[in-house]
Structure 1
Amino acid sequence: MSEPRGPALPRRTVRQRFTILYAVLFLLSGLGLLTLTNLLAGAGSTVPVPGQTSPVPRPGLAHVQERVHQLEAQLSEVHAVQSRQLLVGSVIALVVMAAISFPLGRAVAGRVLRPLRTITVATRRISAENLHERLAVPGPADEVKDLADTVDGLLERLEASFAAQRRFVANASHELRTPLTTMRASLDVAVAKPGPVPAQTLALADRLRTELDRVDSLLEGFLDLARAQHGELHDRVPVAFGTLVSESLAARATDIAERELTVEAHIQDTAWTRGSPPLLSRLVNNVIDNAVVHNRHGGSIRLTTGTTTATGTSTTTTTSTRTMTGDGTGNGSVRLVVETDGPVLDPAQVARLAEPFRRLVADRTGSETGAGLGLSIVAAVVSAHDGVLALHARPEGGLRVTVSLPSAPAPEGGAG
């Protein structure tokens, strides 16, 4: 499990950076203007008054000269008062400019970034199911227009790529199954010929059938994985999730008995979700198959299903994991928790189990029937249904798999 991290620092957006930049530039311009004004005003006060350079007053003009000095003193005092008033006014103007510059800069930054926000919202809205949509941003041929056109070109290439993948999956489903069917028929014909069949031929036929079953299972896994990853969920209907779990456990009763496993199940039959029944059935089967096959002989399986309300209150006793908010209706989530026994696993390797063909140590993946696609298919199906898959290595050994899917109301007359 990941170690707890400290509180995340607030993310500084481009709009905040532009706001600070505009405000600082506005303040520096105002400060420079006010400084130049004060310097010019101060320079004007140093001009000498005519007649001050006369060292010796004329006779009879003493009274006039004294009056001139008084006027000069009064003028200097008035000029000093005006300078102080100009300085105070400049400081007040600078404070007012500082108060105005930030909201003004924020408004200007928002106006400049508005096309980018439009592009971001439109890009987030486009997914694998509507790649045919385009941004089609109007306006002059500037940098923003170039960015929008580049994103449109990328979406066009992605649409072509997804379409090619879908065609490949559809063709592979038919082309690869045909030779498998032919090979099985040829084996049956060869074994069913009249006359005694050598024991080596029968053994070889059985082995070939086993290998063909593995190839068929691998092909089916590829097709399910591709379908889930492409999000082709056009058949979303209410599904009784608890019923799927009960049916999957019943179908594997023989395998569970052969491995002498102890199953402790708490299944809530009223848990409903909405999605593709085949894919959800494959999800449940893969999770339970993983618990049966990759368990120690004589081990145990603890299985719990239930619903979690939008406030996080669970109706059954389950292990702690991250839950979904739901499907937007406030119904919360449906959860499946499966715990198995086994050796202590490396959490770093467990976190990568949802990748295709990812396996752990040989004592856990010693079965020759697995292809390493089980949990990767589970992860793809969960993601296609807007859910959450959590894999945790249990401290006492084994694995805990938690699946959370948006819950849905049960249809009328559809008791679990």
Structure 2
Amino acid sequence: MRLPGGERARLTMLYGGLLVLAGAMLIGLINFLVSQGLYTTITAAVARNNPDVAPAHSGPVPSPAAVPASPGPTPVQRDQEATTVIRTFTRAAEQATQNQLLTISLITLAVFSIVSVALAWWMAGRVLRPVGVITRTARRLSGENLHERIALDAPAGELKQLADTFDDMLDRIEHLVGAQKRFAANAAHELRTSLAVQRAAAEIGLATSDPAAVARIRRKLIEVADSSERLIEGLLLLSVSEQGLDHREPVALDELVRSVTAEHAVTQQARDRGITVRARAAPVTVQGDPVLLTHLVRNLVGNALRYNHDGGHVTITAHGRALEVDNSGPRVPPETVPYLFEPFRRLEERRHARGEGAGLGLSIVASIARAHQAHAEAEANPGGGLTVRVVFPGPEGGS
């Protein structure tokens, strides 16, 4: 049965009710125990303090023949009268004592009940104080003050653990909201830049009648359109991978690596720049979406080709439950490596050159890895370039 009122009122009713019940049981037990021996105690006390009044005769009752005749009451009669007096007095004293004890007990119980309810109310308030702090903080929070924390100053316990968990959740929410804001701003900037380039090219092309200039503008418009298309496809892929997997099936990662490696080894970019693309793949099978995993490997290899130098190399390795892509290239500052998995992050400012990526490659890799419960990490190579590693979970879901 659910008690009415708020949590503090319910706790007060429960705590106060238990204290009053315990007090009533204690008083009842005391009254019961006292009443059991009260008659004997009063009788003994009266006889002890009044030696002239003997209690009931305990010896053999003398026969009438043995008792001399006298005009007054006999000893037997006197003993009987004394016993009757003591019994009557004891009963009256017992009844008066019990009534007085009961009255005092009821008054004490009433006072105890009031004190118990007051203490229960105070104690419930103390216990629920952290919940009130959490509630007030949650009501204050908005997109502008996600930096606030409860930081509850309390002894270790369930409510302290709840407050700390709430603070940890706020840390994650703040990070996600910040990442979403940066993503929206960067996506808007990228798309706006492409549109501005297209508009400028169209205005210039329409203002001239030179066939060569028109041809150049046409090529430029096509390049910008291709770049915008790749950007939109990357954004859509990122959105799809963030939604998680609808189904899973066994995927031969080693075969996928060899297929993507062969595909990129003969690209014009690899041939023109003399970049060697090779694979070392042991048999590896993971559970996942084959389409998304293909995008993951293609993004890793494409990123390694794009950010490389002439005559460099790209090595794709699959072993254990890990996929690793290592490439040569410019030196990567170690402190910037963790930020490369964020959308639109590049080592250098975008120049809108031909073949330049949109800055979504590694962020898509990280998103697809999360969808597969895998972990993506990177480290800068001492001689330049980057090593990106994706570790997939084991058959039972462990890494």
The TM-score range, normalised by the shorter chain, is: 0.3 to 0.5
TM-score w.r.t. the length of structure 2 is: 0.45
Q: Which has the higher helix share?
A: 2
TM-score w.r.t. the length of structure 1 is: 0.43
Greater RCO structure (CA 8 Å; 6+ sep): 1
